[in-house]
């Protein structure tokens, strides 16, 4: 007997955002609330600093914002949270590879089991709302088989198609680190619940997102962390040689992609999409530091340490699959996005001239 496929209809209730006081959740909630859509945030406020985001949202939007301060793994929390919602964005997670290495059981419980609990809470509803889950590029592993060449301050793939397009969803999954395993397991559960139970659910495999309201630290949110350290005149630690490359995406562009995914969920359900800045918004750590030196007017204090477990020397998202299905594409360039982040962190920051490479380090 085939599984029961729940009836799916559009609802008029609030949007539920788990981890909604975090960086991405705050930006998405603000966008929705500005448009008059009620939002229900579920967050346990475990990440330092996110309570500031929540206060900011409450002051801006008042009663249009509903708040539940709780851990989604607590009995009954999700069953109450999903009632009458028109859509769900699942951002609540343990987000650091380093933390997963120290505490794999906690990492699994939050990321894998927590996601499964949400899926089950939605499956129990007569009319499940659409779900968008944010996964990670770590599901592709360390990508050690990709041949790389050093080109100035960055690594680039030796093969031209990969250099031009980035990593596509056709890449085989190869979970690496407990964090990669827990997010990868959750990623696959979401896709399978869409396939097996007919839930309207899709996955974003995210690259590096940055922007206002990011409480960055060394283990997660590294763009904001680097800029904060630079603004403070504090030392920066680079693991590896600094030539590792990521594509970075300004959070405003991500919010647009999230909204389009929900709007187009009937066509996107059961699919995963690589989401980032793409090849045109790729930077190495050293290239990023050049920009930060220009923004702050002071040289960087750098210390180099050995490569860390599961670090990818090169990851850039191939965006074509999501672009072809929705028409979305990033609009905020790297220099504009970094300046906007800097001005949020330190109002009055001005764009400066790019320094010579010798000026990077003290």
In a domain, 128, yes or no: yes
Share of the chain above pLDDT 90, in %: 82
Tell me the pLDDT band of 152, cut-offs 50, 70 and 90: very high
- Mutual angle of helices 334-345 and 222-232, in 10-degree steps: 60
Q: Is the pTM of this model over 0.85?
A: yes
In a domain, 254, yes or no: yes
Phi, psi for residue 272 in degrees, rounded to 5: -115, 145
Q: Which of 51, 34, 36 is nearest to 86 (CA)?
A: 36
Other Cβ atoms closer than 10 A to 87: 23
> Could you give the angle at the alpha carbon of 220 between the alpha carbons of 358 and 188, nearest 5°?
130
217-236 pLDDT, tens digit per residue, is 767 788 999 999 999 899 99
Close Cβ partners of 151 (under 8 Å, ≥ 6 residues apart): none
In a domain, 170, yes or no: yes
* Residues paired with residue 156 on neighbouring β-strands, in sequence order: 149
pLDDT of residue 330 exceeding 90, the answer is: yes
In a domain, 76, yes or no: no
Q: Which residues are catalytic?
A: 179
Tell me the pLDDT band of 361, cut-offs 50, 70 and 90: very low
pLDDT of residue 338 exceeding 60, the answer is: yes
- 303: domain CATH number is 3.40.50.720
* Rounded Cα distance, 8 and 128, in Å: 6
Domain extent, residue 151, equals 93-359
In a domain, 70, yes or no: no
Pinpoint the alpha helices (H) of 132-250.
160-165, 177-197, 222-232
> Could you give the angle at the alpha carbon of 323 between the alpha carbons of 137 and 215, nearest 5°?
45
Tell me the pLDDT band of 97, cut-offs 50, 70 and 90: confident
Cβ 200 vs Cβ 207: under 8 Å: no
37-94 pLDDT, tens digit per residue, is 999 999 999 988 899 999 999 999 999 999 999 999 999 999 999 999 999 999 999 9
Which of 14-18, 250-254, 305-309, 316-320 comes out lowest in average pLDDT? Answer: 305-309
In a domain, 201, yes or no: yes
- N-term to C-term CA, the chain: 68
Number of domains in the chain: 1
N residues, the chain:
362
Other Cβ atoms closer than 10 A to 113: 15
pLDDT at position 3, please?
44
* Rounded Cα distance, 179 and 107, in Å: 7
pLDDT at position 98, please?
87
In a domain, 10, yes or no: no
In a domain, 112, yes or no: yes
């Amino acid at each position: 007997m085939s599984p029961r496929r729940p009836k799916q209809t559009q609802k008029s209730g609030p949007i539920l955002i788990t981890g909604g006081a975090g960086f991405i959740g705050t930006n998405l909630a603000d966008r929705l609330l500005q448009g008059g859509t009620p939002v229900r945030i579920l967050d346990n406020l475990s990440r330092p600093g996110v309570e500031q985001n929540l206060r900011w949202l409450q002051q801006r939007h008042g009663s249009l914002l509903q708040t539940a301060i709780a851990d989604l793994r607590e009995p009954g929390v999700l069953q109450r949270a999903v009632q009458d919602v028109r859509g769900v964005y699942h951002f609540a997670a343990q987000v650091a590879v380093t933390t997963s290495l120290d505490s794999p059981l906690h990492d699994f419980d939050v990321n894998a089991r927590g996601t499964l609990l949400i899926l089950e809470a939605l499956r129990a509803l007569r009319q499940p709302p659409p779900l968008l889950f944010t996964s990670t590029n770590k599901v592709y592993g360390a990508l050690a088989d990709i041949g790389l060449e050093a080109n100035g301050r960055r690594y680039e793939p030796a093969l031209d198609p990969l250099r031009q397009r980035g990593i596509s969803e056709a890449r085989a999954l190869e979970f690496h680190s407990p964090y990669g395993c827990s997010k990868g397991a959750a990623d696959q559960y979401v896709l399978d619940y869409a396939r097996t139970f007919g839930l309207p659910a899709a996955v974003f495999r995210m690259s590096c997102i940055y922007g206002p309201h990011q409480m960055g630290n060394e283990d997660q949110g590294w763009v904001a962390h680097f800029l904060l350290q630079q603004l403070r005149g504090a030392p920066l630690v680079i693991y590896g040689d600094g030539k590792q490359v990521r594509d970075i995406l300004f959070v405003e562009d991500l919010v647009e992609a999230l909204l389009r995914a929900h709007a187009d969920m009937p066509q996107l359900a059961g699919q995963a999409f690589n989401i980032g800045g793409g090849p045109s918004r790729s930077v190495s750590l050293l290239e990023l530091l050049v920009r930060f030196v220009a923004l702050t007017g002071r040289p960087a204090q750098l210390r180099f340490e050995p490569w860390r477990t599961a670090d990818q020397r090169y990851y850039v998202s191939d965006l074509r699959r999501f672009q072809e299905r929705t028409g979305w594409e990033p609009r905020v360039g790297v220099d504009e996005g970094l300046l906007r982040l800097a001005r949020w962190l330190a109002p009055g920051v001005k764009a400066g001239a790019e320094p010579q490479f010798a000026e990077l380090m003290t």
